[in-house]
Amino acid sequence: MARATAILFTILAVGAAFAQEPAKVSTAHPLDPLSQDEIRATVKLLKDEKRITGHTIFSYLGLLEPPKETVLAFKRGDTIIRRAKIVGYDGRERIALEGVVNLTEKKVESWQFIKGAQPGNLGGLDFKLTERIVRTDPRWIAAIKKRKLDPVDVVIYPMPVRGYLDRKPEGSRYVLAMFGLDEPDESADIPGLMALVDLTKRTVEWIRDEPGLMTRASYEHMFDPEKIEAKRPALKPIRITQPEGTNFEIEGQLVRWQGWEFRIGNDPRTGLVLHSVAYRAGDKLRSILYRGSLSELYVPYGDPDWFMMHWFDAGEFGLGSQSHSPLKPLNDVPENATLLQAVTHGSDGRPRTVPNAIAIYERDAGILWRHGGESRRARQLVVQSMFTVGNYDYGLNWIFHQDGVIEVEVELTGLMIWKAVPRIKDSASSHVSGRPSTGLLVAPNVEAPNHQHFFSFRLDMDVDGQVKNALYEMNTAAIPNKDGNPLGHGFAMTETLFKTEKQAQRQVNAPTARSWKIVNPSVLNELGQPSAYMLMPMGNAAPYALPGSYLAGVGAFANHHLWATPYRPNELYAAGTYVFDGEPTDGLAKWTAANRSIEFEDVVIWYTLGVTHLPRIEEWPVMTVHKAGFKLMPAGFFSRNPALDVPETEPPMKDK
Ligand SMILES: [Cu+2]
């Protein structure tokens, strides 16, 4: 079993909103993340009112964003009502709770216990509890001794059940416990042995004890920062400095650059959030994206023996709280980066500061445009953050271009999870035999299994205004001969309006150059075309969980690349609020069952970006970064190339 899994469950909860600059009334905004003081005040109020006890674990403690109308109507200096949203778990009563605290009026506005719901992001609770329950179970002790092992040497890996169980008593929190050895120099899985643990009743419900050959894998070939030798001579430096200063301005959470204006936020669950993304043309600020964020990150594994190995990294491990990883200057980010800290919460409800949590920097981006001898150099603005979730590291970058393009990029790096296998070499024929492969041997006795990563992005598009956006699909195909294409070379693009949620559940399709467009028909450009932004897919992947399988249900959002919903402020997480036990109470599949209208509504689009990861030996013992992403591109928003006015790059002043 994967050693990294233990890390997943033992990560100390650190907490992420950005630290506010010294309080200036003028820059305060309703979308500012909660400050340290606000987090403290929330918990103090809950304690004073005896709503929480020492057994309360905070799964989520962050800003409850004000209603959209309030934000849109906000003017500097207006009174701001601040609210905190809480999702927690009472570790003694073992029940989920949800609440809202009005920090301005110092009162609890709502408080309820959610029977049957199982929050994630509980710090080490599941791990610690599983340890205690399993280690005292006589059946488990007997099974270990039967294998001539000492229970003290055995490590326990609790895995979420993810809907694997046909039925379970309502309210019980379950984990599947797997077992292994973790010695200083080697590691092993204990195949055939598994326990289903009821954390609520604190019992081992069953033990599965089947024969299996234990294989040991040496740590010799594993990633170990201590053993990395820098054998190459250090490279002569490339200096990336901006002696005349940056071209962007930061004011509180507001960033301005090359016509772009947006606010930086942070969600304890989904990490970096961009708010109110707009483009300034003269004195007119044109809205594009009201709110853009990740909504879930789902990682299913393809090894049939590892039926429990699937993760929901946002809902379970808090990308903006316990998984938020500080950026390392000069390595994660270039020399000219501005680094911001973030404030978030720990599972104990205390505020935590993540240093260097978000980087903002300009970078050279090659040629912007060119014809003949006339050309311009492109500059981009990158907003970067990283998350470490167990064995994996993810980058999330929002990249602003000078031509109105917003690029969303994810970076995948870190360590591949691995399992111990008997073989120490692969034969050359294994690549030509047609034998299906569910993983790759990456070191003697070490196999990295096939898996996938599905990022769901929630994009609340407000193209030139909040309401009456419409979603179209564009497909390109050959024109039939009979339709005026007698020579057979003609092709045409067709736009299709989606009127309902179900019509808008779509897949990428390279042969028809499929893309989607969010159109505001009430705003026209100089040529009479409606203002629009298109979502341009790049690479993508489809999930392999068979229809009807337990995993296809819990990972339903990955079944479509595109979803669309009418804006609802509380519909934030594609896989649902409660992903831990695979029985979400909400999420895209459930909301869209109502098949609501999305025609000329305040449309929210959801894009599933998938990566099918078939391990390569060159990704061992640590993966070089793999990038994936998509673009939001203006398509009628402007009346010509908006980057036409970018000036030619001149030599720096001192070189003249
Ligand atoms: Cu991967």
Taking only the tens place, the pLDDT of each residue in 429-447 is 766 667 788 999 999 999 9
Is residue 157 within 8 A of residue 177, CB to CB? The reply is yes
Task: Report yes or no: 520 and 510 within 8 Å, Cβ to Cβ.
Answer: no
Instruction: Give pLDDT tens digits for 36-84.
Output: 999 999 999 999 999 999 999 999 999 999 999 999 999 998 999 999 9
Cis link prior to 422 (omega < 30° from 0)?
no
Catalytic entry in 313, 332, 393, 460: 313
188 within 8 A of 217, measured Cβ to Cβ: yes
Q: Residue range 380-387: average pLDDT? A: 98
Residue 271: strand pairing partners: 267
Strand partners, 398: 383, 408
Kindly tell me if the per-residue pLDDT of 2 is higher than 50: no
Helical spans, DSSP H, in 11-94: 36-48, 68-73
CA distance 553 to 161: 13
d(CA 66, CA 85): 11
Closest of 161, 17, 173, 208 to residue 103, by C-alpha? 17
Q: 613 pairs with which residues across the strands?
A: 451
- Lowest-confidence segment of 45-59, 289-303, 305-319 by average pLDDT: 305-319
209 flagged as catalytic: no
What lies within 8 Å, CB to CB, of 624 at 6+ separation is 413, 618
Here the tokens at position 478 are 């050959």
Q: Which tops the pLDDT comparison, 366 or 125?
A: 366
Cβ–Cβ under 8 Å, residues 578 and 585: yes
- The strand pairing partners of 609, in sequence order, are 455
Can you tell me the distance from the alpha carbon of 614 to that of 61, in angstroms, rounded to the nearest whole number? 36
Closest Cα to residue 300, out of 414, 127, 438?
A: 438
Q: What is the pLDDT of residue 638?
A: 97
CA atoms within 13 A on the CB side of 342: 35
Q: Rounded to the nearest whole angstrom, what is the distance from the C-alpha of residue 541 to the centroid of ligand 1?
A: 12
State pLDDT tens for residues 539-574. Answer: 999 999 999 898 888 899 999 999 999 999 999 999
Q: 392 vs 283, 291, 323, 395, CA distance in Å?
A: 44, 26, 10, 10
Give me the residues paired with residue 98 across strands.
Answer: 87, 112
Which of 89, 164, 219, 392 is labelled catalytic?
Answer: 392
Kindly give the distance from the C-alpha atom of residue 325 to the centroid of ligand 1, in angstroms, as a whole number. Answer: 18
**Residue 379 pLDDT > 90, yes or no?**
yes
**pTM for the full predicted model:** 0.94
Instruction: Indicate the DSSP class of residue 469.
Output: B
Report CA(120)–ligand 1 centroid distance (Å). 22
pLDDT of residue 191: 87
- Tokens read off for 581: 């036990």
- Exposure of 200 in the CB half-sphere (CA atoms within 13 A): 18
- Tell me the CA–centroid distance for residue 312 and ligand 1, in Å: 13
| Ligand 1 centroid to residue 104 C-alpha, Å | 44
**Cα torsion through 566, 405, 67, 530, rounded to 10:** -50
Q: What is the pLDDT of residue 653?
A: 67
How many angstroms does the Cα of residue 342 sit away from the middle of ligand 1?
A: 27
**Active site annotation includes 392:** yes
Question: Can you point out the beta strands (E) in 11-132?
Answer: 17-18, 56-63, 83-90, 95-102, 107-114
Cα of 242 vs its chain's centroid, Å:
31
Kindly report, residue by residue over 97-145, the tens digit of the pLDDT: 999 999 999 999 999 999 888 898 888 888 889 999 999 999 999 999 9
Q: How far is the CA of 415 from the centre of ligand 1 (A)?
A: 8
Other C-beta atoms within 10 Å of 211: how many?
Answer: 8
